[in-house]
Amino acid sequence: MRAPFPALPLARRSLLAGAAAFSMPRGAWGATPKRSGRLTVAADSEPPNLNPAIIASNGVFFVASKVIEPLAEAAYDGRDGLAPRLATGWEAANDGRSITITLRQGVTWHDDRPFTSADVAFSAMEVWKKHQNLGRAVFRELEAVETPDAHTAVFRFAVPTPAQLIRNALPVVTSVLPKHLYEGTDIMRNPANQKLVGTGPFRFAERRHGEYTRLVRNPTYWEAGRPHLDEIVYRVLPDRAAAGNALEAEEIQLAAFSAVPLADLDRIGKVPGIKVISSGYEGLTYQLVVEINHRRRELSDVRVRRALAHAIDRDFVVRTIFRGYAATSQGPVPKNDRVFHAPDVAGYGFNPARANALLDEAGYPRGADGVRFRLRLLPAPFFNETRQFGDYLRQALAAVGIEAAIVSNDTPAHLRAVYTDHAFDIAVGSPVYRGDPAISTTILFQSGLPAGVPFANQYGYQNAEVDTLIRQAAGTIDDAERVRLYRAFQKLVTDDVALVNVAEFSFITVARDNVLGVSSNPRWAVSNWADLGFAG
Protein backbone atom coordinates (compact mmCIF):
# COMPACT_ATOMS: atom_id res chain seq x y z
CA MET A 1 0.00 0.00 0.00
CA ARG A 2 1.01 3.52 -0.65
CA ALA A 3 -0.94 4.99 2.14
CA PRO A 4 0.34 6.46 5.32
CA PHE A 5 0.08 4.04 8.17
CA PRO A 6 -2.38 5.59 10.55
CA ALA A 7 -1.50 4.13 13.92
CA LEU A 8 -2.87 0.87 14.98
CA PRO A 9 -5.29 -1.07 16.99
CA LEU A 10 -5.06 -3.94 19.41
CA ALA A 11 -5.70 -7.56 19.51
CA ARG A 12 -8.92 -9.37 19.13
CA ARG A 13 -9.08 -13.02 18.44
CA SER A 14 -11.31 -13.66 15.49
CA LEU A 15 -10.65 -13.20 11.81
CA LEU A 16 -12.41 -10.96 9.40
CA ALA A 17 -15.21 -13.14 8.12
CA GLY A 18 -14.49 -12.49 4.48
CA ALA A 19 -10.86 -13.33 4.87
CA ALA A 20 -11.23 -16.50 6.89
CA ALA A 21 -11.12 -18.77 3.88
CA PHE A 22 -7.66 -17.55 2.96
CA SER A 23 -6.24 -17.49 6.41
CA MET A 24 -4.24 -20.67 6.66
CA PRO A 25 -0.74 -20.37 5.28
CA ARG A 26 0.26 -23.19 3.00
CA GLY A 27 3.65 -23.57 4.64
CA ALA A 28 4.23 -26.15 7.32
CA TRP A 29 3.16 -24.73 10.67
CA GLY A 30 4.79 -27.37 12.80
CA ALA A 31 8.27 -27.24 11.29
CA THR A 32 11.02 -25.65 13.36
CA PRO A 33 12.86 -22.85 11.64
CA LYS A 34 16.61 -23.21 11.36
CA ARG A 35 18.73 -20.63 13.07
CA SER A 36 20.27 -18.53 10.36
CA GLY A 37 19.71 -16.34 7.40
CA ARG A 38 18.86 -12.89 6.23
CA LEU A 39 15.21 -12.07 5.65
CA THR A 40 14.66 -9.25 3.15
CA VAL A 41 11.24 -7.65 3.29
CA ALA A 42 9.56 -4.91 1.27
CA ALA A 43 9.09 -1.48 2.87
CA ASP A 44 7.35 1.48 1.32
CA SER A 45 7.50 4.20 3.91
CA GLU A 46 10.47 5.58 5.77
CA PRO A 47 9.42 7.37 8.93
CA PRO A 48 12.06 9.96 9.85
CA ASN A 49 11.52 9.27 13.54
CA LEU A 50 11.66 5.53 14.20
CA ASN A 51 10.89 5.73 17.92
CA PRO A 52 7.74 3.70 18.70
CA ALA A 53 7.45 5.22 22.19
CA ILE A 54 6.91 8.61 20.53
CA ILE A 55 5.11 7.63 17.33
CA ALA A 56 2.81 4.67 17.86
CA SER A 57 2.03 3.99 14.19
CA ASN A 58 2.22 0.95 11.94
CA GLY A 59 4.92 2.47 9.75
CA VAL A 60 7.20 2.88 12.77
CA PHE A 61 6.28 -0.39 14.48
CA PHE A 62 6.93 -2.39 11.31
CA VAL A 63 10.65 -1.78 11.86
CA ALA A 64 10.95 -0.62 15.47
CA SER A 65 8.92 -3.39 17.16
CA LYS A 66 11.78 -5.79 16.49
CA VAL A 67 14.18 -3.57 18.44
CA ILE A 68 12.08 -1.88 21.14
CA GLU A 69 9.55 -3.98 23.05
CA PRO A 70 6.23 -3.14 24.71
CA LEU A 71 5.19 -4.43 28.13
CA ALA A 72 2.87 -6.96 26.48
CA GLU A 73 1.97 -8.05 22.98
CA ALA A 74 -1.36 -9.10 21.53
CA ALA A 75 -1.94 -12.86 21.40
CA TYR A 76 -4.50 -15.24 19.92
CA ASP A 77 -4.50 -17.09 23.25
CA GLY A 78 -3.59 -15.87 26.67
CA ARG A 79 -4.95 -13.90 29.57
CA ASP A 80 -6.62 -10.63 28.45
CA GLY A 81 -5.65 -11.49 24.87
CA LEU A 82 -2.07 -10.60 25.74
CA ALA A 83 1.32 -12.30 25.75
CA PRO A 84 3.92 -11.06 28.26
CA ARG A 85 6.92 -9.19 26.91
CA LEU A 86 8.76 -6.83 29.27
CA ALA A 87 5.96 -7.26 31.81
CA THR A 88 5.14 -10.66 33.21
CA GLY A 89 2.08 -9.60 35.17
CA TRP A 90 -0.41 -6.71 35.50
CA GLU A 91 -2.91 -6.21 38.32
CA ALA A 92 -5.36 -3.33 38.70
CA ALA A 93 -6.50 -1.99 42.08
CA ASN A 94 -10.22 -2.12 42.77
CA ASP A 95 -10.57 1.65 42.99
CA GLY A 96 -9.20 2.08 39.46
CA ARG A 97 -6.50 4.42 40.74
CA SER A 98 -3.48 2.18 40.19
CA ILE A 99 -2.10 -0.71 38.17
CA THR A 100 0.83 -2.77 39.39
CA ILE A 101 3.10 -4.11 36.66
CA THR A 102 5.56 -6.91 37.37
CA LEU A 103 8.59 -6.72 35.10
CA ARG A 104 10.71 -9.43 33.55
CA GLN A 105 14.05 -10.10 35.24
CA GLY A 106 17.42 -10.64 33.60
CA VAL A 107 16.71 -8.39 30.63
CA THR A 108 19.49 -6.16 29.28
CA TRP A 109 19.48 -3.26 26.85
CA HIS A 110 21.38 -3.61 23.59
CA ASP A 111 24.20 -1.59 25.16
CA ASP A 112 24.39 -4.20 27.96
CA ARG A 113 22.91 -2.02 30.71
CA PRO A 114 20.27 -3.77 32.84
CA PHE A 115 16.57 -3.10 32.20
CA THR A 116 14.74 -1.96 35.36
CA SER A 117 11.51 -0.39 36.58
CA ALA A 118 13.21 3.03 36.34
CA ASP A 119 13.18 2.67 32.55
CA VAL A 120 9.42 1.97 32.62
CA ALA A 121 8.70 4.88 34.96
CA PHE A 122 10.76 7.26 32.84
CA SER A 123 9.18 6.09 29.56
CA ALA A 124 5.67 6.44 30.98
CA MET A 125 6.01 9.86 32.60
CA GLU A 126 8.42 11.58 30.22
CA VAL A 127 7.69 9.98 26.85
CA TRP A 128 4.30 8.23 26.54
CA LYS A 129 2.37 10.81 28.55
CA LYS A 130 4.12 13.87 27.12
CA HIS A 131 5.05 13.04 23.55
CA GLN A 132 3.28 9.97 22.22
CA ASN A 133 0.46 10.46 19.70
CA LEU A 134 -1.80 7.96 21.53
CA GLY A 135 -0.24 7.99 25.00
CA ARG A 136 -1.04 11.67 25.49
CA ALA A 137 -4.72 10.67 25.68
CA VAL A 138 -4.45 7.22 27.30
CA PHE A 139 -2.09 8.42 30.06
CA ARG A 140 -3.51 11.92 30.46
CA GLU A 141 -4.49 11.21 34.06
CA LEU A 142 -1.32 9.28 34.93
CA GLU A 143 0.02 11.01 38.02
CA ALA A 144 3.11 9.04 38.90
CA VAL A 145 4.86 5.73 38.39
CA GLU A 146 6.29 4.34 41.60
CA THR A 147 9.13 1.85 41.58
CA PRO A 148 9.17 -0.03 44.92
CA ASP A 149 11.85 -2.34 43.53
CA ALA A 150 13.76 -2.83 40.29
CA HIS A 151 11.12 -5.14 38.85
CA THR A 152 7.86 -3.54 39.92
CA ALA A 153 6.22 -0.42 38.53
CA VAL A 154 3.01 0.98 40.00
CA PHE A 155 1.07 3.31 37.72
CA ARG A 156 -0.98 5.83 39.75
CA PHE A 157 -3.84 7.72 38.14
CA ALA A 158 -5.41 11.00 39.27
CA VAL A 159 -8.92 9.75 38.46
CA PRO A 160 -10.35 6.23 38.31
CA THR A 161 -9.10 4.78 35.02
CA PRO A 162 -10.52 1.66 33.36
CA ALA A 163 -7.96 -1.15 33.63
CA GLN A 164 -9.58 -2.70 30.57
CA LEU A 165 -8.55 0.31 28.50
CA ILE A 166 -4.95 0.22 29.76
CA ARG A 167 -4.71 -3.53 29.10
CA ASN A 168 -6.10 -3.12 25.58
CA ALA A 169 -3.63 -0.33 24.95
CA LEU A 170 -0.53 -2.15 26.31
CA PRO A 171 0.83 -3.51 22.99
CA VAL A 172 0.55 -0.15 21.26
CA VAL A 173 1.38 2.55 23.80
CA THR A 174 4.01 0.97 26.08
CA SER A 175 7.24 0.68 24.07
CA VAL A 176 9.95 1.05 26.73
CA LEU A 177 12.97 3.29 26.15
CA PRO A 178 16.34 3.16 27.94
CA LYS A 179 16.28 5.89 30.58
CA HIS A 180 20.07 6.22 30.55
CA LEU A 181 20.06 7.40 26.92
CA TYR A 182 17.08 9.75 27.16
CA GLU A 183 17.17 11.32 30.60
CA GLY A 184 18.06 15.01 30.49
CA THR A 185 18.03 15.18 26.68
CA ASP A 186 15.67 16.77 24.14
CA ILE A 187 13.59 13.63 23.69
CA MET A 188 12.17 14.58 20.27
CA ARG A 189 15.67 15.14 18.87
CA ASN A 190 17.55 12.36 20.61
CA PRO A 191 19.82 10.53 18.13
CA ALA A 192 18.49 7.25 19.54
CA ASN A 193 15.18 8.03 17.80
CA GLN A 194 16.94 6.88 14.64
CA LYS A 195 19.64 4.58 15.95
CA LEU A 196 17.28 2.63 18.16
CA VAL A 197 18.42 0.97 21.38
CA GLY A 198 15.98 -1.47 22.94
CA THR A 199 15.64 -4.87 24.56
CA GLY A 200 14.17 -6.65 21.54
CA PRO A 201 15.33 -9.72 19.60
CA PHE A 202 17.04 -7.57 16.96
CA ARG A 203 19.52 -4.72 17.22
CA PHE A 204 19.53 -1.71 14.95
CA ALA A 205 22.46 -1.93 12.52
CA GLU A 206 22.20 0.74 9.83
CA ARG A 207 19.83 2.75 7.72
CA ARG A 208 20.36 4.19 4.25
CA HIS A 209 17.54 6.57 3.37
CA GLY A 210 15.73 5.59 0.22
CA GLU A 211 17.47 2.21 0.18
CA TYR A 212 17.17 0.04 3.27
CA THR A 213 17.18 -0.41 7.02
CA ARG A 214 19.08 -3.36 8.49
CA LEU A 215 18.60 -5.10 11.83
CA VAL A 216 20.84 -7.83 13.23
CA ARG A 217 20.28 -10.63 15.73
CA ASN A 218 20.53 -9.72 19.41
CA PRO A 219 22.72 -12.52 20.85
CA THR A 220 21.71 -11.68 24.42
CA TYR A 221 17.93 -11.67 23.93
CA TRP A 222 16.06 -12.73 27.08
CA GLU A 223 14.09 -15.50 25.41
CA ALA A 224 16.37 -18.53 25.01
CA GLY A 225 16.86 -19.76 21.45
CA ARG A 226 15.35 -16.63 19.89
CA PRO A 227 15.45 -15.04 17.43
CA HIS A 228 15.99 -17.48 14.57
CA LEU A 229 17.00 -14.95 11.94
CA ASP A 230 20.48 -13.41 11.71
CA GLU A 231 19.30 -10.28 9.93
CA ILE A 232 16.21 -8.46 8.76
CA VAL A 233 16.63 -6.05 5.87
CA TYR A 234 13.79 -3.65 4.96
CA ARG A 235 14.25 -2.77 1.32
CA VAL A 236 12.52 0.41 0.21
CA LEU A 237 10.42 -0.35 -2.87
CA PRO A 238 8.35 2.69 -3.83
CA ASP A 239 6.74 1.27 -6.98
CA ARG A 240 3.49 -0.65 -6.63
CA ALA A 241 4.63 -3.47 -8.87
CA ALA A 242 8.06 -3.75 -7.25
CA ALA A 243 7.24 -5.96 -4.26
CA GLY A 244 5.57 -8.62 -6.42
CA ASN A 245 8.42 -8.64 -8.92
CA ALA A 246 11.08 -8.75 -6.21
CA LEU A 247 9.28 -11.69 -4.54
CA GLU A 248 9.12 -13.59 -7.80
CA ALA A 249 12.78 -12.84 -8.49
CA GLU A 250 13.55 -14.03 -4.91
CA GLU A 251 15.25 -10.75 -4.10
CA ILE A 252 12.90 -10.38 -1.14
CA GLN A 253 11.18 -13.15 0.81
CA LEU A 254 8.27 -11.30 2.36
CA ALA A 255 5.94 -8.39 1.64
CA ALA A 256 3.59 -7.39 4.46
CA PHE A 257 0.93 -4.64 4.69
CA SER A 258 -0.49 -5.44 1.26
CA ALA A 259 2.69 -4.23 -0.43
CA VAL A 260 1.53 -6.53 -3.21
CA PRO A 261 -1.75 -4.89 -4.30
CA LEU A 262 -4.99 -6.87 -3.96
CA ALA A 263 -5.37 -6.81 -7.74
CA ASP A 264 -2.14 -8.82 -8.16
CA LEU A 265 -2.88 -11.45 -5.52
CA ASP A 266 -4.73 -13.85 -7.81
CA ARG A 267 -1.80 -13.98 -10.17
CA ILE A 268 1.03 -14.07 -7.64
CA GLY A 269 -0.80 -16.60 -5.45
CA LYS A 270 -0.41 -19.10 -8.30
CA VAL A 271 3.35 -18.65 -8.60
CA PRO A 272 5.05 -21.78 -7.21
CA GLY A 273 7.01 -21.07 -4.04
CA ILE A 274 4.90 -18.08 -2.96
CA LYS A 275 2.14 -18.06 -0.33
CA VAL A 276 -0.59 -15.50 0.32
CA ILE A 277 -1.60 -15.07 3.98
CA SER A 278 -4.43 -12.87 5.22
CA SER A 279 -4.23 -13.60 8.97
CA GLY A 280 -1.96 -11.83 11.44
CA TYR A 281 -3.64 -8.45 11.12
CA GLU A 282 -6.77 -8.96 13.24
CA GLY A 283 -5.47 -6.34 15.67
CA LEU A 284 -5.03 -3.77 12.91
CA THR A 285 -8.55 -3.20 11.65
CA TYR A 286 -9.25 -0.27 9.34
CA GLN A 287 -12.80 0.90 8.71
CA LEU A 288 -14.11 2.15 5.40
CA VAL A 289 -16.55 4.95 6.25
CA VAL A 290 -18.48 7.74 4.58
CA GLU A 291 -17.81 10.89 6.57
CA ILE A 292 -20.70 13.34 6.55
CA ASN A 293 -20.62 17.09 6.95
CA HIS A 294 -23.65 17.66 9.17
CA ARG A 295 -23.40 21.44 8.60
CA ARG A 296 -24.74 20.96 5.10
CA ARG A 297 -28.51 21.60 5.21
CA GLU A 298 -29.61 18.46 3.33
CA LEU A 299 -27.27 16.24 5.36
CA SER A 300 -28.42 17.61 8.69
CA ASP A 301 -31.66 15.67 8.12
CA VAL A 302 -31.34 12.13 9.49
CA ARG A 303 -33.65 10.82 6.74
CA VAL A 304 -31.15 11.97 4.10
CA ARG A 305 -28.28 10.32 6.00
CA ARG A 306 -30.26 7.09 6.24
CA ALA A 307 -30.90 7.29 2.52
CA LEU A 308 -27.13 7.48 1.96
CA ALA A 309 -26.65 4.38 4.10
CA HIS A 310 -29.33 2.48 2.18
CA ALA A 311 -27.87 3.47 -1.20
CA ILE A 312 -24.63 1.51 -0.64
CA ASP A 313 -24.35 -2.16 -1.58
CA ARG A 314 -21.83 -3.30 1.04
CA ASP A 315 -21.58 -6.84 -0.30
CA PHE A 316 -20.68 -5.48 -3.72
CA VAL A 317 -18.01 -3.24 -2.16
CA VAL A 318 -16.42 -6.16 -0.28
CA ARG A 319 -16.61 -8.51 -3.26
CA THR A 320 -15.44 -6.10 -5.95
CA ILE A 321 -13.26 -3.44 -4.40
CA PHE A 322 -11.71 -5.59 -1.67
CA ARG A 323 -11.85 -8.82 -3.69
CA GLY A 324 -13.26 -10.58 -0.65
CA TYR A 325 -10.43 -9.52 1.69
CA ALA A 326 -12.74 -7.51 3.97
CA ALA A 327 -16.05 -7.75 5.86
CA THR A 328 -19.16 -5.60 5.65
CA SER A 329 -19.82 -3.23 8.54
CA GLN A 330 -22.80 -1.44 10.08
CA GLY A 331 -21.36 0.22 13.17
CA PRO A 332 -18.31 1.93 14.66
CA VAL A 333 -16.90 -1.17 16.46
CA PRO A 334 -15.76 -3.95 14.12
CA LYS A 335 -17.23 -7.44 14.33
CA ASN A 336 -13.88 -8.99 15.23
CA ASP A 337 -13.92 -7.20 18.59
CA ARG A 338 -16.25 -9.68 20.27
CA VAL A 339 -16.14 -7.83 23.58
CA PHE A 340 -17.34 -4.42 22.47
CA HIS A 341 -19.12 -5.07 19.17
CA ALA A 342 -22.86 -4.46 19.42
CA PRO A 343 -24.57 -6.87 17.03
CA ASP A 344 -27.99 -5.27 17.46
CA VAL A 345 -27.35 -1.84 15.92
CA ALA A 346 -29.68 -0.54 13.22
CA GLY A 347 -28.75 -2.16 9.91
CA TYR A 348 -29.01 -0.25 6.69
CA GLY A 349 -29.30 -2.87 3.99
CA PHE A 350 -28.88 -2.11 0.32
CA ASN A 351 -32.27 -0.68 -0.61
CA PRO A 352 -32.34 2.07 -3.28
CA ALA A 353 -36.17 2.15 -3.25
CA ARG A 354 -36.15 2.91 0.49
CA ALA A 355 -33.43 5.52 -0.07
CA ASN A 356 -35.51 7.21 -2.77
CA ALA A 357 -38.59 7.17 -0.54
CA LEU A 358 -36.63 8.68 2.39
CA LEU A 359 -35.28 11.46 0.18
CA ASP A 360 -38.77 12.25 -1.16
CA GLU A 361 -40.08 12.28 2.40
CA ALA A 362 -37.31 14.67 3.46
CA GLY A 363 -38.52 17.11 0.83
CA TYR A 364 -35.87 16.72 -1.85
CA PRO A 365 -37.73 15.57 -4.96
CA ARG A 366 -35.89 14.87 -8.19
CA GLY A 367 -35.59 17.89 -10.47
CA ALA A 368 -36.26 17.88 -14.19
CA ASP A 369 -32.79 16.38 -14.75
CA GLY A 370 -33.45 13.63 -12.21
CA VAL A 371 -31.14 15.23 -9.64
CA ARG A 372 -32.32 15.98 -6.10
CA PHE A 373 -29.22 17.89 -4.97
CA ARG A 374 -25.49 18.00 -5.53
CA LEU A 375 -22.63 17.12 -3.14
CA ARG A 376 -18.87 17.42 -3.05
CA LEU A 377 -17.34 13.97 -2.47
CA LEU A 378 -13.72 13.79 -1.20
CA PRO A 379 -12.29 10.26 -1.26
CA ALA A 380 -9.24 9.92 0.99
CA PRO A 381 -6.13 9.08 -1.06
CA PHE A 382 -4.83 6.77 1.70
CA PHE A 383 -5.59 3.47 0.00
CA ASN A 384 -6.42 2.30 -3.52
CA GLU A 385 -9.64 1.02 -2.01
CA THR A 386 -10.71 4.38 -0.52
CA ARG A 387 -10.31 5.97 -3.96
CA GLN A 388 -12.13 3.15 -5.73
CA PHE A 389 -14.95 3.29 -3.21
CA GLY A 390 -15.27 7.02 -3.98
CA ASP A 391 -15.95 6.12 -7.62
CA TYR A 392 -18.47 3.49 -6.57
CA LEU A 393 -20.20 5.87 -4.16
CA ARG A 394 -20.66 8.46 -6.89
CA GLN A 395 -22.49 5.89 -9.00
CA ALA A 396 -24.51 4.53 -6.09
CA LEU A 397 -25.68 8.03 -5.14
CA ALA A 398 -26.53 8.86 -8.75
CA ALA A 399 -28.97 5.94 -8.66
CA VAL A 400 -30.94 7.68 -5.90
CA GLY A 401 -30.80 11.12 -7.50
CA ILE A 402 -27.84 12.64 -5.66
CA GLU A 403 -25.13 13.97 -7.92
CA ALA A 404 -21.74 13.76 -6.25
CA ALA A 405 -18.76 15.57 -7.76
CA ILE A 406 -15.48 13.88 -6.85
CA VAL A 407 -12.74 16.20 -5.57
CA SER A 408 -9.35 14.46 -5.64
CA ASN A 409 -6.60 15.61 -3.32
CA ASP A 410 -3.25 14.30 -2.20
CA THR A 411 -2.83 13.37 1.45
CA PRO A 412 -1.98 16.73 3.09
CA ALA A 413 -4.58 18.54 0.97
CA HIS A 414 -7.23 15.98 1.91
CA LEU A 415 -6.48 16.35 5.62
CA ARG A 416 -6.64 20.10 5.36
CA ALA A 417 -9.91 20.12 3.41
CA VAL A 418 -11.79 17.67 5.63
CA TYR A 419 -10.37 18.14 9.12
CA THR A 420 -9.44 21.83 9.17
CA ASP A 421 -11.41 23.69 6.50
CA HIS A 422 -14.50 21.41 6.55
CA ALA A 423 -14.63 22.03 2.79
CA PHE A 424 -16.54 18.85 1.94
CA ASP A 425 -20.08 17.48 1.96
CA ILE A 426 -19.21 13.82 2.13
CA ALA A 427 -15.79 12.18 2.31
CA VAL A 428 -14.47 8.63 2.24
CA GLY A 429 -12.24 7.89 5.21
CA SER A 430 -10.43 4.96 6.79
CA PRO A 431 -10.25 5.40 10.57
CA VAL A 432 -8.45 2.75 12.59
CA TYR A 433 -10.09 0.72 15.32
CA ARG A 434 -7.50 0.30 18.07
CA GLY A 435 -8.95 -2.49 20.18
CA ASP A 436 -10.88 -0.28 22.57
CA PRO A 437 -13.52 2.31 21.61
CA ALA A 438 -11.92 4.87 23.93
CA ILE A 439 -8.61 5.01 22.06
CA SER A 440 -9.58 6.44 18.70
CA THR A 441 -13.23 5.65 18.00
CA THR A 442 -15.30 7.82 20.33
CA ILE A 443 -13.34 10.85 19.15
CA LEU A 444 -15.07 10.46 15.77
CA PHE A 445 -18.41 11.25 17.46
CA GLN A 446 -17.62 13.45 20.42
CA SER A 447 -18.46 17.13 19.87
CA GLY A 448 -16.57 20.29 20.75
CA LEU A 449 -13.17 19.52 19.22
CA PRO A 450 -11.22 22.41 17.70
CA ALA A 451 -10.80 22.45 13.91
CA GLY A 452 -7.50 20.97 12.75
CA VAL A 453 -7.52 17.79 14.85
CA PRO A 454 -7.46 15.05 12.21
CA PHE A 455 -9.25 11.69 12.29
CA ALA A 456 -11.80 13.13 14.71
CA ASN A 457 -15.30 14.62 14.70
CA GLN A 458 -14.83 17.54 12.32
CA TYR A 459 -18.21 16.65 10.90
CA GLY A 460 -20.35 19.11 12.84
CA TYR A 461 -22.10 16.14 14.46
CA GLN A 462 -23.49 16.95 17.88
CA ASN A 463 -25.65 14.77 20.12
CA ALA A 464 -25.70 15.57 23.82
CA GLU A 465 -26.70 12.01 24.68
CA VAL A 466 -23.70 10.63 22.81
CA ASP A 467 -21.37 13.10 24.52
CA THR A 468 -22.75 12.07 27.92
CA LEU A 469 -22.28 8.36 27.19
CA ILE A 470 -18.69 8.92 26.07
CA ARG A 471 -17.90 10.91 29.20
CA GLN A 472 -19.57 8.36 31.45
CA ALA A 473 -17.77 5.39 29.91
CA ALA A 474 -14.38 7.11 30.18
CA GLY A 475 -14.74 7.16 33.97
CA THR A 476 -16.24 3.69 34.38
CA ILE A 477 -13.83 1.14 35.81
CA ASP A 478 -16.12 -1.89 35.81
CA ASP A 479 -15.45 -3.95 32.67
CA ALA A 480 -19.03 -5.11 32.12
CA GLU A 481 -20.52 -1.67 32.71
CA ARG A 482 -18.03 -0.14 30.27
CA VAL A 483 -19.02 -2.65 27.63
CA ARG A 484 -22.72 -1.88 28.23
CA LEU A 485 -22.15 1.86 27.84
CA TYR A 486 -20.13 1.45 24.64
CA ARG A 487 -22.80 -0.82 23.19
CA ALA A 488 -25.44 1.83 23.92
CA PHE A 489 -23.14 4.36 22.29
CA GLN A 490 -22.91 2.24 19.13
CA LYS A 491 -26.70 2.00 18.89
CA LEU A 492 -27.11 5.71 19.28
CA VAL A 493 -24.61 6.84 16.65
CA THR A 494 -25.83 4.19 14.22
CA ASP A 495 -29.45 5.32 14.61
CA ASP A 496 -28.25 8.86 13.97
CA VAL A 497 -26.08 7.79 11.01
CA ALA A 498 -23.36 10.11 12.30
CA LEU A 499 -21.09 8.30 9.84
CA VAL A 500 -21.85 5.49 7.42
CA ASN A 501 -19.74 2.42 8.22
CA VAL A 502 -19.30 0.35 5.08
CA ALA A 503 -16.57 -2.25 5.54
CA GLU A 504 -13.78 -3.46 7.83
CA PHE A 505 -10.48 -4.33 6.20
CA SER A 506 -6.93 -5.17 6.95
CA PHE A 507 -3.80 -6.31 5.12
CA ILE A 508 -2.32 -9.26 3.26
CA THR A 509 1.14 -10.80 3.57
CA VAL A 510 2.82 -12.47 0.61
CA ALA A 511 5.88 -14.59 1.41
CA ARG A 512 8.14 -17.27 -0.03
CA ASP A 513 7.09 -20.74 1.10
CA ASN A 514 10.26 -21.30 3.13
CA VAL A 515 9.53 -18.44 5.53
CA LEU A 516 8.09 -19.94 8.73
CA GLY A 517 6.27 -18.30 11.62
CA VAL A 518 4.28 -15.74 9.63
CA SER A 519 1.08 -14.44 11.29
CA SER A 520 1.75 -15.91 14.73
CA ASN A 521 -0.25 -13.20 16.52
CA PRO A 522 -2.99 -10.64 15.76
CA ARG A 523 -0.49 -7.79 15.43
CA TRP A 524 2.04 -9.98 13.70
CA ALA A 525 3.46 -7.51 11.15
CA VAL A 526 4.16 -5.01 13.92
CA SER A 527 5.34 -7.53 16.56
CA ASN A 528 8.89 -8.64 17.31
CA TRP A 529 9.39 -11.52 14.81
CA ALA A 530 11.52 -13.46 17.29
CA ASP A 531 9.85 -16.67 16.09
CA LEU A 532 10.25 -15.98 12.37
CA GLY A 533 12.72 -18.10 10.42
CA PHE A 534 13.52 -20.14 7.34
CA ALA A 535 12.64 -23.80 6.84
CA GLY A 536 15.65 -25.96 7.64
Partner 1 sequence: MRRTLALLRRRVLGVVPVFALVVLGAFLLLEAAPGDAVDAYLAGVGGGDAAQVAALRTEWGLDGGPLPRLVAYLSALVRLDLGWSSAFQRPVLEVVLERLPNTLLLMGMATLLALSLGSLLGIVCGARPGSLRDRALSLAAIAIYAMPGFWLGLVLIVAFSVELRWLPSGGMETVASGLSGIDRAIDIARHLVLPVLSLGLVYMALYLRLMRDGMAELWGQDFVRAARARGMTGARLVLRHVARNALLPVVTMLGLQSAAMLGGSVVIESVFAIPGLGRLASEAVSRRDTPLLLGVVLLSAIVVMLVNLVVDLSYALLDPRVGSGTGG
Is residue 37 within the footprint of partner 1 (CB under 8 A)?
no
Among 48, 106, 365, 370, binds partner 1 (CB under 8 A): 48
Give dist(CA 139, CA 469) in Å, integer: 20
Task: Yes or no: say if 503 and 288 are a contact pair by the CB < 8 Å rule.
Answer: yes
Residues 379-408 that bind partner 1 (CB under 8 A): 382
Give dist(CA 420, CA 426) in Å, integer: 14
Q: What is the 3-state secondary structure (H, E, C) of 445-459?
A: CCCCCCCCCCCCCCC
Is residue 457 within the footprint of partner 1 (CB under 8 A)?
no
Is residue 266 within the footprint of partner 1 (CB under 8 A)?
no
Residues 100-139 that bind partner 1 (CB under 8 A): 133-134, 136-137
Residues 57-86 that bind partner 1 (CB under 8 A): 57, 59-60
- Conformational region of residue 184, where left means phi above 0, alpha means psi within -120 to 50, and beta covers everything else: left
Is residue 237 within the footprint of partner 1 (CB under 8 A)?
yes
Is residue 285 within the footprint of partner 1 (CB under 8 A)?
no
The residue among 49 and 108 lying less far from partner 1, judged by its C-beta, is: 49
Each residue of 446-458: b (16+ CB within 10 Å) or e?
A: beeeeeeeebbbb
Is residue 269 within the footprint of partner 1 (CB under 8 A)?
no
Among 235, 341, 372, 523, binds partner 1 (CB under 8 A): 235
Other C-beta atoms closer than 10 Å to the C-beta of 405 total 11
Total of chain residues touching partner 1, rule CB under 8 A: 63
Site string for partner 1, 407-426 (x = CB under 8 A): --xxxxxxxxx--xx-----
Selection from 200, 104, 106, 113 nearest residue 152 by Cα: 104
Contacts 24+ apart (CB under 8 A), 341-347: 341/490, 342/486, 342/487, 342/490, 342/491, 344/491, 345/490, 345/491, 345/494, 345/495, 346/491, 346/494, 346/495
Residues 431-450 that bind partner 1 (CB under 8 A): 432, 440, 449-450
Bridging pattern class, strands 373-379 and 426-429: parallel
Binding region for partner 1 (CB under 8 A) out of 54-62, 393-401, 478-486, 523-531: 54-62
The residue among 380 and 483 lying less far from partner 1, judged by its C-beta, is: 380
Is residue 273 within the footprint of partner 1 (CB under 8 A)?
no
Distances (CA, A) of 216 to 40, 44, 67, 115, 426: 12, 20, 9, 20, 47
Is residue 10 within the footprint of partner 1 (CB under 8 A)?
no
The residue among 67 and 312 lying less far from partner 1, judged by its C-beta, is: 67
Is residue 317 within the footprint of partner 1 (CB under 8 A)?
no
Q: Which residues of this chain interact with partner 1, rule CB under 8 A? A: 4-8, 40, 45, 47-49, 55-57, 59-60, 133-134, 136-137, 205-206, 208-212, 214, 231, 233, 235-239, 241-242, 245-246, 248-251, 382, 409-417, 420-421, 432, 440, 449-450, 452-456
